[in-house]
Structure 1
Amino acid sequence: MSITQKGAATQSQKLMIFVLSMSLYGLATLFTELIPSFQVGIVEFSVEFFLFIPLVLAMLFDPLSAALGAATGELVFSEIMLGQFGGLGELEKFITVTIGVYIAGRLVRNPKNRVMVGVAAFVGTGAQLLMGTIVDILKVQFAVTDFEAVAGLPESVFATEGFAFLNDLLFSGILFCLLPTLYLVPKLYGKIEPLLGMQPRTEETGLGEISVKNIIVCLVAFACAIGAEMMAESGLSLIDWEAGWAGSGTALAAGMIVAAVIAIALLFVMRKNAQPVGEAK
């Protein structure tokens, strides 16, 4: 595998980034199924996601490939592999995860800039959670789902969903997104890129700032996510499937094994084909 001299990744490199993000994040989402949550008063402490995995990959490699890989990994391993599929209802999470990770990856032009890495990780995580919150509020406002009040909070969907958003952002967002990303991006920068035959990202070779076109595409995709979730909640999910063994321990173990095998096999191939940066065939 030859080293890419410019910032743009080749199609084969993008595919490897996609598969790596899919398998690692898919494995991580299955691990979250094993972590218990606990509640103190009205505050619930639970591990919602390990979003730092695709965030790191998006900041070091092609953001779109890492974002799509993460969303696909969550869908395949934490839904289909566990024997369940919600049809259109799955589209909302797929799109919001993709947008959040993509935005974070595009914000970082120089991975050595720790401040920007931290800001991007927080913004990307916040964007994903905020979009989910907006969708939940709209579902109640348009009466496609019932409002469930939380004891100790005002009986308002805005208060309930807003509190849940802040709870997830300040707990999972900081502990399992911001802090690991801040540590791993500078740590891996310049070391992992040769495994894919790529030069480390710099301000000169980065994708540039987010354009108006990027923002419009994200907004259109988010509108599609809202529409899909509304249809799913209204009983128009199209394909709603749940196996008899859904959520079983066997399914969970099988999913983790498959994701781990894919990730290990890909890392082995990457290591075998790795070249020092600057060397080309």
Structure 2
Amino acid sequence: MSSTTASSDTASSSPARRIPRPQELASSQKLMVFVLSMVLFGLANILTEVLPEFRVGPVELSVSYLAFVPVVMVSLFHPLYAALGAPLGEIIFVDLLMGNFSGVGELEGYIQLALGLYIGGSLVRDPARRGQVALAAIVAVLIDKGVGGAVDILKVVVGVEDLESVQGLPESILALEGVAFASDLLISGIIFGAIPAAYLAPRLHGKIEPLMGMAPRDPRVPLPGRARQTAGFIGLAVVLFIASGLFAFLEYVDVELGLWEPDFLEQYGMGFLWVSVAACAVVLVTVVLLARRSARRRRLEAGRATAASATEVARSNAGV
């Protein structure tokens, strides 16, 4: 009799709905995270197109991108799929639709930003901890802009035949790139990265994930698929960084593979940005509808499983 009571208590206390953890995401959910990250970062980059830029001598002070948007995504969801989707949003909704697509050279920025976001998101064990989220933003921009600056220096060095014939050239290049890197880290990494991300991520944690049928990230459970400090991953990262440099050099030597630059903004003005906004809105609404449909289907499946379990327990109790 006690075993029967225990069985019924277990059945009644079992959750009516089981939401998979990030490592249990279905293919459709991985795609939703990828597309959602792509659309949100695309919208963020459209906004940066209208933000003012300032120039102090040879140094340009501007917002490269709103880093907090992809950082929040890689902090809340699986960092791999969110990191792969975010930089693609800039390529599709800004570069392609605005008619400013540099072809194979776009792979340089894609690899650098995706890898930076992936490593930064992997550092976040608990999105409710502001320090971890802020560190993720700084690391992501540090990797992206640091590697990009190193590649820019190499491009200039390779393009100059005799450095010794131009007095002070190497020092000036390093100084300019250093100032540009520091300004990007301050503006994109901290002001528009770490600070808003550390504010938003804890408030969205546990609220947005269930809407997509996913469980919030659990700090007690290690996240499979995250970046690790292993020789294999470090070697892969180095190879990807070298590959990004090679793509940059292809653009530098005028390899125009995939080049498409009608430059619609110059032809039609800033109002053409609304085309990208409309495209983002359509994709975003589609993702939300698919996410709600997927969550509803999972609730129904969980309800059927619970009902079947309750029926089985009732039959076993009747048999006893």
For Structure 1 versus Structure 2, the TM-score category normalised by the shorter chain is: 0.7 to 0.9
Match for residue 81 of structure 2?
65
- Structure 2, unpaired ranges of 5+: 1-16, 164-168, 304-320
Instruction: Provide closer, same or farther for how the CA distance between residues 131 and 154 of structure 1 changes in structure 2, counting only shifts above 3 A.
Output: closer
Q: For 1:189-200, list aligned pairs within 5 A.
A: 189-200=205-216
Match for residue 228 of structure 2?
210
CA distance in 1, matches of 2:58, 2:159: 25
1:134 aligned residue (130, 150, 156): 150
Match for residue 150 of structure 1?
none
CA distance in 2, matches of 1:62, 1:2: 18
- Structure 1, unpaired ranges of 5+: 148-152
Match for residue 257 of structure 2?
238
More relative contact order, 1 or 2 (CA 8 Å, 6+ apart)? 1
Letter of the 1:235 counterpart: D
Letter of the 1:17 counterpart: V
Instruction: Provide closer, same or farther for how the CA distance between residues 128 and 6 of structure 1 changes in structure 2, counting only shifts above 3 A.
Output: closer
Match for residue 48 of structure 1?
64
Identity %: 41
Match for residue 160 of structure 1?
176
Q: Does 1:112 align with 2:128?
A: yes
Return 31-40 or 160-169, whichever deviates more: 31-40
Superposition deviation, residue 179 in structure 1:
0.8
**SS of 2:251's equivalent?**
helix
Q: Work out whether residues 25 and 74 of structure 1, in 8 Å CA contact, stay in contact via their aligned partners in 2.
A: yes
Match for residue 43 of structure 2?
27
Larger Rg: 2
Return 242-251 or 121-130, whichever deviates more: 242-251
Q: Does 1:179 align with 2:195?
A: yes
CA distance in 1, matches of 2:155, 2:199: 37
Q: TM-score, normalised by structure 1?
A: 0.88
Q: Work out whether residues 211 and 291 of structure 2, in 8 Å CA contact, stay in contact via their aligned partners in 1.
A: yes
Instruction: Count matched residues.
Output: 274
Instruction: Provide closer, same or farther for how the CA distance between residues 156 and 261 of structure 1 changes in structure 2, counting only shifts above 3 A.
Output: same
Which digits, 9 at most, give the CA deviation of each residue in 1:194-250, with x for residues without a partner?
112111112314235624222222221111110011111011232222126355435
CA distance in 1, matches of 2:136, 2:51: 26
Q: Work out whether residues 57 and 66 of structure 1, in 8 Å CA contact, stay in contact via their aligned partners in 2.
A: yes
CA distance in 2, matches of 1:195, 1:65: 17
Q: Work out whether residues 205 and 216 of structure 2, in 8 Å CA contact, stay in contact via their aligned partners in 1.
A: yes
Return 41-50 or 108-117, whichever deviates more: 41-50
Q: Cα RMSD over matched residues?
A: 2.7
Match for residue 227 of structure 1?
246
Instruction: Provide closer, same or farther for how the CA distance between residues 278 and 214 of structure 1 changes in structure 2, counting only shifts above 3 A.
Output: farther
Q: TM-score, normalised by structure 2?
A: 0.78
Which digits, 9 at most, give the CA deviation of each residue in 1:49-70, with x for residues without a partner?
0121111111111111111111
Letter of the 2:114 counterpart: T
Superposition deviation, residue 21 in structure 1:
0.7
Match for residue 8 of structure 2?
none
Letter of the 1:93 counterpart: G
Q: Which one has the bigger helix percentage?
A: 2
Letter of the 1:173 counterpart: G
Superposition deviation, residue 9 in structure 1:
2.1
CA distance in 2, matches of 1:271, 1:278: 10
Instruction: Provide closer, same or farther for how the CA distance between residues 244 and 131 of structure 1 changes in structure 2, counting only shifts above 3 A.
Output: closer
Instruction: Provide closer, same or farther for how the CA distance between residues 254 and 2 of structure 1 changes in structure 2, counting only shifts above 3 A.
Output: farther
Return 42-51 or 111-120, whichever deviates more: 42-51
CA distance in 2, matches of 1:71, 1:197: 24
Which digits, 9 at most, give the CA deviation of each residue in 1:142-184, with x for residues without a partner?
1179x9xxxxx99521111011000111122211111111011
Superposition deviation, residue 24 in structure 1:
0.8
CA distance in 2, matches of 1:42, 1:180: 29
